[in-house]
Structures are given as structure tokens and as C-alpha cells.
A and B are shown apart, each in its own frame.
Chain A
């Protein structure tokens, strides 16, 4: 069971992520969008969306630091375990609470504003379930861990090592099997969410428009006669049969 959950599932999830992203880029660029609902409702979105997105940026950054940087490195530069956790929990709490408050506002808005509710995609229901689940479980696990309810579990000696071992294709799944339940569930929800990215609106995260900073303002393009005359039918523009 541990092998299946912590040795196989992560790879399945990442395979689905990569395959789905490839499929989206190859066959469904037209569907690749944020699906913004700001034209329907702007007031709540202007509070909720930046809170959630900026919060999430820092949450992701925190996860990268916690999972990728080995404890021995921070020890080597003289950061004690206590200082590390104090820093991690304090900054993580701010980012996590901001993101949670943001998603709270956004989900409330999605249910409460009729036009936004109507604009909800089928994939949204699944995606929101796992996104909210992963966030709530992550916050719960952190809360339990810092109040000592999990017996002073140090994820940097367990989960982080397992996570890094995924990259060497020698997953140390026993380490995850020994982790507290809240962490286990958080990771399960997290990997499911990864698999959902390309099949839901979350795919917009891969098109973060950083290139805007470097391109000339006005874009010119030549019209390619092949584009209209001989190209294959695009989705939504198929021939009438």
C-alpha cells in the first residue's frame, strides 16, 4: 500500500500532468485560458484574487524551500532547527492565511454571484474540491505539527527526503508511510491536484506572461495564406458534415 501511494502514485500524477499539458498545447490551445469571470463581478474578485494568487506564490516558494533544501545545508550555514521552523511557520502562516482567505472569497463569490455561478466549468467542481482540500489539509498539518499534536514530527527528516528521492526514481516510500496522517492526506490531495492542472483552468499557471517585459509594444505579423487556406480544421471550426 505504501509503495502504491508513495512510490507509484506521484509518478502517475506527474505523467498525467505532462501528458495533459502536451495534449493541451498540441490540440486545445483555444481552451487554454484563465476563464476569468471579472466582467461579471469585479468588487470581490479585486480583493480575493490578488490575495489568493500572491499568497499562493509565496506558499509554493515555501514548499520549494522546505522540500528541496536539505536540513544539512541549513545546519551548515548555522541556522538552528528552531530558528528555521520559526521562520518557516511565521512566513508560511502569513502566505497560507492570505491564500486561504483569498480562495475563501473567490469560492463564496462563485456560489453567491448568479452570473459567476453560471460561468462555472464542469472541471471547476473537481478542481476546487482538491484545491480547497489540499489547502485545508496543509494548514491543518502545519497547525497540528507546530502545536506538537503530531509528536514533534520533523518533515525535513521524512517528507523532504522522500520528495527528493522521487527525482532519483528510487522513492523512499517507507519514510512517507511513517508520516502523520494529515501530511499524508495533504500530499495525496496535492498530487491529485497536480494531475488536474492541465485538464482544468489551472493550466493558465503555465502561461505566466513574463515575456511581456521583454517584447516590443506593438506586435506585427504577416498573414500566412496557408493559415486560412490549407490548415487543418481547428477545434470549434470543423467542417459542417
Chain B
């Protein structure tokens, strides 16, 4: 057993309201530069829909992730090493700008500078890449937001296409019959990252301490194989610097124990961050199991129970510090993934062992029940509906369990049971243990899960151990802004008098996480 630690994320899709705050704050923090106009490290997709870049899930076309050879080994879907080196001069599977969207801005200056006249001046759209006017904007980062244009766009969703092949024309997009939910996406920081494995220069790496996958900007040579390698299309090519860039999991924040920007600013409180301990020796084998339906359970088996003394001893032996083991014990992510098993990986069939997991949304089911005039909070009704509503379940299964509906049904049942159980509690009715036991949990566990998913306090959602304390002190001691920053902080009792002249004082109130 070789224990490694990873900061992982779980997103509770039921609580995503599709506000895109995560995308915007991420963009402001990381990709508001020339060369990354089209890049969204975090984006929120409406499903069913094509996603960003368009139809990224179509691996027949983009050749992302791994495939299992007949001999049971894993090979990059795009091809072996020699083949990929042969394609280094022109990558045949590289998405073009139009597959993302043509980034544009507006000629705002014209609004002010236009000479006086009879007509109101307008700000024409211009391409951010060429500066040329764009006559008609035809696609954007969220063009099909909230099922906009779904009659034309949603049938092109690769999952819809696949399900349609299986269930025929049943899946339809007339407004009254459609279902939808949001899928926020960041880099998966996989255990078996295909992007890292595709990089000819060896510039991409997975950090041993926290599992964050990064691009060394000094070693990247712009071969752009990683863009193809990542099946989630979460590595981007900065066309101005000629280097690959990707979600950094906000490592400068993670290192000091703060949640990522997308998590911190999540309005719906739907993101969870915590430590997962896993057995690195098992990963290769788990990623290469024959049946795709086994990929979810096999990844689950890679995770180690932080409360098991043998695991703790092995973790200590692998150099994992006490702080991290403690954090792993309190990890909300471990609870959602392993203890309650309500979170599922995104597209495990890509065999990259992703580490951003999702609690599937129950709301399409609840809404369908409520719309049919029944009680949408009743356990019996919900259980029946989960069985009856094949299409949402099959869609979720294609998304989260390589098409196996059984685990999705199990999760939805657990969520439905929690809903029904907690409604009785909140209405002051008698606790109905049979609802909990129907899904293999106890009433106390139901309430714990409810606290984690519905109350979701800041401290419960984010349990991020800081990098070693010595590191943190070294960082603080040599903060580059100490000398140069003109902004000072006021003391606790009003402006202090010893502030150097010329410094601006900001009245920063103590944060809720103050030490």
C-alpha cells in the first residue's frame, strides 16, 4: 500500500442554480488576459446540451482519455507515443477556436466618440482575436444556457445521441417534456491524468503532496498534445504565449488552507473540498478493468479509509503529515464519496480516474412527480418515479457511471429518502426509521447527510489542510508585497499612527477564518 493524498472536490448538482458566479470569479482570477479570452477554467453547462467546447464528450472525434487494449493495458485513445510524436507538427484532433467560440468584445469607444447625429451610436461587436467586426455572433461560452435553442442544439448532445440510439425517439425536447440541470466543470485533477501522459515535453505533472495537476510554464513547448489528451477538454492553449494552461485548483489558496475561488464564491453552497487518501499502487489496475461499469466501483476501492489504523500508519510511513491525516478524517468529500456513496465520478469510462465528483440531481425527478399532481416529497412517490423516469436516470448514468443505471438509482433513492425523512422531522412528525433503513442508512446518518448536503456550513464544506506550517511561515515571511504595496491595513482600534506616509489605509474587517 502506497498512500497518497489528494485534495478532491464534490459538487451537489441539486443545489446548482446556474448563476455562473464560479465561472466569472475564476475568469477574473485566472484567465482575464490576452491569449486566454476564450478560456474558462471553470464553466457551467446546461444539460442536455453540447457543452464547452462544443460536443466535448464525443471522444470518437476528440480522442481524449485512455482506452483499454485487447491485452488489458491502457493506451491513450489518441495513439501511442511514437504515433503522437509523428503528429507533433499538426495535431489532427486539436479543437479550433470555433469549437470553443470566437471571443468578442464591443466597440464601446464609439458610444462616446461618435459625432452628434440623428442616430443613436451603437457598439458593434468586434473579434478579440482579429479586431475585425463580427457581423453575427453565432456561438458563445453559454450559448445554450437554460436550454436556449434546445430544439436545435440539445439533440446534438453526445449523450442524447447515444441514448436515442438505445431508446429510440422517446427523448424529446418540447418544453413541457424536457428536463434540465446544470453541470459546473473544472479540471478533474485525475489520478491517472491523460493530459500529463500526453505531454511530450514532460512539462505537466501531478503534485505528490496534494494531487494538483499543473503545467510548468517554463518547460511547456507548445506541442498541444495535452489539449487532445484531456477528455474533459480542460487544458487550453494560450495563443498569445504559445503555452498550455489549465485550472490550477487555485493552488496558492489551497496551500494556505483556503478553498478554491470557484468554491469560495459558490452562491448555492454546492461545492465541497477535502482530502482523499488513496492507494497509488491500485490506480493503474483500477483504471484498466475490463467492464466500463466496474470503473466507478474500482475507483471507489482505491480510496482508503482514514479511520483505519493500518491506513493511518501507512500514510505516516509515506510522509503524510498529521494535519493531512486529521483533515482526511474530517473530509466532507470522503463522506459523500465513500461513507454515504452519494457522489459519482464524471465520465469514468475515460479511465482517467477523475477527482471532481458529482451528487446527481434529484430535482428533475421531483419536478416530474410534482408536475403530475402527486406529492413530490413523498418517499414512495419518489422511489416509484426513479424507477419510472428512465430517461433522466439513463442520461445521468451515461454522464456519471459509464451507463450503468444501478448506482445512479441507488444515489437518487438515498437522496429521496433523505428528503422524505427530513420533511417529517421538520414538520415535527414522528421519525420514520423505515425510510432510512429502506436505503441502508440509519436515522442519525440521514440527519448527518442532511447537515452536510442541505445546511452545508462553510466549515463543513471546506476542510483544506494548509501546506506544512513551516512552508506557510516562509511564504508569509517573504511576501513580495510587503515592501512595495502601497495599501496598508488599519489596526484593530482605528488607523494606526505608525503607518508610513503615502500609504493608503483600508479598513479590512477580520475575516471569519481569522486565526
* Residues of chain A whose beta carbon lies under 8 Å from any beta carbon of chain B: 29-30, 32-42, 45-46, 49-50, 52-54, 114-115, 117-119, 204, 207, 209-213, 215, 217-223, 225, 228-230, 233-234, 239-241
Contacts and interface: CB of A to CB of B under 8 A. Distances in A.
A13 B224 CA distance: 31
Contacts of B91: 38
B317 interface: no
A230 B478 contact: yes
Given A209-B221, A213-B85, A241-B484, 4 more contacts: A39-B97, A220-B206, A228-B252, A229-B474
Contact of B130 (A54, A118, A221): A118
Contact of B218 (A30, A117, A217, A220): A30
B163 interface: no
B130 A114 contact: yes
B350 interface: no
A29 to B, nearest CB: 4
Contacts of A42: 90, 94, 96
Contact of A222 (B130, B208, B239): B208
A69 B112 CA distance: 70
Contacts of B208: 220-223
Given A30-B217, A32-B221, A229-B478, A39 B202 contact: no
B165 to A, nearest CB: 29
Contact of A33 (B81, B96, B241): B241
Contact of B90 (A38, A219, A220, A229): A38
A60 to B, nearest CB: 15
A39 B200 CA distance: 18
B484 A29 contact: no
Of the listed residues B89, B239, B243, B255, the one surrounded by the most CB atoms of chain A closer than 10 A to its CB is B89
Contacts of B255: 223
Interface string B206-250: 111110000001111111100000000000010111110000000
Nearest to A217: B197
Given A39-B97, A40-B96, A119-B239, A207 B129 contact: no
Contacts of A40: 96-97, 129, 239
Interface string B69-101: 000000000000110110011111011110000
Contact of A229 (B81, B201, B222, B475): B475
Contacts of A204: 221-222
A46 B243 CA distance: 19
Interface string B471-503: 100110110110011000000000000000000
Contact of B197 (A218, A220, A233): A218
Contacts of A223: 207-210, 255, 467
Task: Report, nearest first, the 4 A-B pairs whose CB atoms are least far apart.
Answer: A209-B200, A33-B242, A217-B197, A33-B222
Nearest to A28: B218
Given A212-B202, A218-B196, A49 B221 contact: no
Contacts of B242: 33-36
A35 B197 CA distance: 21
A39 B244 CA distance: 12
A222 B207 contact: yes
A225 B474 contact: yes
11 contacts: A32-B218, A38-B94, A38-B237, A39-B94, A49-B90, A209-B88, A209-B202, A218-B196, A219-B206, A221-B206, A240-B481
A29 B471 CA distance: 26
A54 B89 CA distance: 9
A34 B82 contact: no
B465 interface: no
B94 A215 contact: no
Given A32-B221, A207-B221, A50 B239 contact: no
A212 B404 CA distance: 36
B219 A29 contact: yes
Contacts of A35: 222, 242
A18 B127 CA distance: 40
Contact of B222 (A36, A117, A241): A36
A29 B94 contact: no
Contacts of B95: 39
B166 interface: no
Contacts of A209: 85, 88, 200-202, 221, 223
Contacts of A210: 85
Contact of B243 (A33, A37, A53, A229): A33
B132 interface: yes
B131 interface: yes
Contacts of A38: 90-91, 94, 96, 224, 237
Nearest to B240: A119
B369 interface: no
Contacts of B218: 29-30, 32, 234
B204 interface: yes
Contact of B484 (A45, A50, A239): A239
Contacts of B90: 38, 42, 45-46, 49-50
Given A45-B90, A204-B222, A218-B193, A213 B97 contact: no
